[in-house]
Amino acid sequence: MAKIQSLGSKHGFMASTMLVFSLLMAILSTTSAQIGVCYGMLGNNLPPRPAVIALYNQYNIRRMRLYDPDQAALQALRGTNIEVMLGVPNTDLQRIAASQDNANAWVQNNVKNYANVRSRYIAVGNEVKPSDSFAKFLVPAMQNIRNALAAAGLGIKVSTAIDTGTLGESFPPSKGSFKGEYMPILNPVIRFLVNTQAPLLVNLYPYFSYISNTKDISLNYALFKAPSPVVPDGSLQYRNLFDAILDAVYAALEKSGGGNLEIVVSESGWPHP
């Protein structure tokens, strides 16, 4: 394991732990970082779903991201204390956007039918890009899922996950801004989140920033090991790349009408040899 020590961010993140062989979900607030692990299912010889849930419980991992409503995993989650971020895959966006009935059925089959599963967020779409054929269906799908949840009396927040490739500028963090080509997607997403008081989900990988610029970014800075501040930005001093990227996204949100939004880090991690 490697320790994440988040210091210097204006959002006051606490120390947390990252599993280097997995993806990480950190639900960040101004007072604490609540850690979870993303449950990916692309691979061979995967353990049975109940065995995976037992592993979460064994290590007291209380938050999980599921990228799609895998029925066996949801069944295994019944009655546990694990909070779930449940995904609507990109391949389903057009179908969900096309009909409120389709969204109602999705919520019935994957949320209401598992009333004793602690669904906390619905992540509609993942890293949707302007060039994607389904991009125009993203916000209508988000709205239909939210309508279905509201009709069912469920207060689960609806959002979508973006990656930091949406940033056009990120250094220093206070200069953070989104790329212009992403705004046709991000503007309606941000309006939706502001109107529904839901957080923005961000897949944040310091590794990719580091590996693309090892000349200017030190490994210690990327791995939370810098002994002193590395990046000054006004009154702030950044000692790790994670906080710097995160605050760049906050700055970009402030410039785009989302200054009051919170961010949930829906993925992070570091490659494991």
> How many helices (H) does the chain have, and how many strands (E)?
9, 14
Catalytic residue flag (residue 83): no
Catalytic residue flag (residue 267): yes
The span from the CA of 116 to the CA of 174, in Å, is 42
Select from 31, 38, 39 the least CA-distant residue to 14: 31
> Are 190 and 262 a contacting pair, CB within 8 Å?
no
Select from 169, 166, 201, 170 the least CA-distant residue to 186: 166
Question: How many Cβ atoms are within 10 Å of 35's Cβ, its own excluded?
Answer: 19
- The residue from 127, 169, 254, 262 that is catalytic is 127
Amino acid at 155: G
* Active-site amino acid positions: 127, 267
